[in-house]
Amino acid sequence: MFHFLRSNFRWIAGGFLLTYCSALGQTFFIAASVGEWRQTFGLSHGEFGRLYMFATLASAACLPFLGRIVDVVPERRCIALTMPVLAAAALLAAYAPNVAMLAVALFLLRLFGQGMMTHIALTATGRWFSLQRGRAVSLVVLGHQGSEATLPLVFASLALAYGYGAGWVAAAAALLCIGLPLALWAYKVPRTPRPQEADALARLPSTRQWTRAEVVRDPLFWILLTGVLAPPFIGTTVFYHQDYLGQAGGWPPRLFAMSLSVLAVTTVSCALLCGWMVDRYTARRVLPFFLLPLAGACFTFGLSGSPEWLFPAMILLGISYGFSTTLFGALWPEIYGAANLGAIRSVIVSAIVFATAAGPGLTGTLIDQGIPLSRQMTALGVYCFLVVGVMALVSRRLASRALVDAHPGL
Per-residue model confidence as pLDDT tens for the chain (410 residues): 667 777 788 889 999 999 999 999 987 788 778 878 888 999 886 788 788 888 988 998 898 888 888 888 888 999 999 999 999 999 999 999 999 999 999 999 999 998 899 999 988 888 877 767 888 888 898 898 888 878 887 888 888 888 888 999 999 999 999 999 999 999 988 877 665 554 444 445 566 788 889 999 999 999 999 999 999 899 888 877 777 777 777 777 677 777 877 888 899 899 889 888 988 888 888 888 889 999 999 999 888 667 778 889 989 999 998 898 888 888 888 888 877 888 888 888 888 888 887 887 788 778 878 888 889 999 999 999 999 999 999 999 988 887 765 555 44
- The answer to whether residues 112 and 58 touch, using CB atoms and an 8 Å cutoff, is no
Segment holding 78, helix H or strand E: helix 75-95
Query: What whole-number distance in Å separates Cα of residue 301 and Cα of residue 284?
Result: 29
What does the pLDDT look like over 347-372, one tens digit per residue? 888 888 888 878 877 887 788 788 88
244 Cβ neighbours under 8 A, 6+ residues apart: 367, 373
Q: What is the pLDDT of residue 201?
A: 47
How far is residue 189 from each of residues 171, 199, 266, 300, measured CA to CA in Å? 27, 22, 33, 47
- The answer to whether residues 384 and 295 touch, using CB atoms and an 8 Å cutoff, is yes
Per DSSP, the residues of 145-195 read HHHHHHHHHHHHHHHHHH-HHHHHHHHHHHIIIIIHHHHHHHTSS-----H
Taken in order of first residue, the domains within the chain and their CATH numbers are 11-203 (1.20.1250.20), 205-410 (1.20.1250.20)
Q: What is the pLDDT of residue 408?
A: 53
Q: What is the pLDDT of residue 200?
A: 47
What does the pLDDT look like over 128-155, one tens digit per residue? 777 678 888 888 988 988 888 788 878 8
**394 CB burial (10 A radius; 0-12, 13-18, 19+):** buried
Query: What whole-number distance in Å separates Cα of residue 378 and Cα of residue 365?
Result: 17
**pTM for this prediction:** 0.81
Q: Where are the beta strands (DSSP E) in 283-391?
A: none
Per DSSP, the residues of 206-273 read P-----HHHHHT-HHHHHHHHHHTHHHHHHHHHHHTHHHHHHHHTPPTTHHHHHHHHHHHHHHHHHHH
**10 CB burial (10 A radius; 0-12, 13-18, 19+):** middle
Q: What is the pLDDT of residue 384?
A: 94
**236 CB burial (10 A radius; 0-12, 13-18, 19+):** buried
Query: What whole-number distance in Å separates Cα of residue 395 and Cα of residue 335?
Result: 10
Q: If you ran DSSP here, which 8-state letter would residue 31 be given?
A: G
Query: What whole-number distance in Å separates Cα of residue 27 and Cα of residue 152?
Result: 11
Half-sphere exposure of 364 (CA within 13 A, CB side): 18
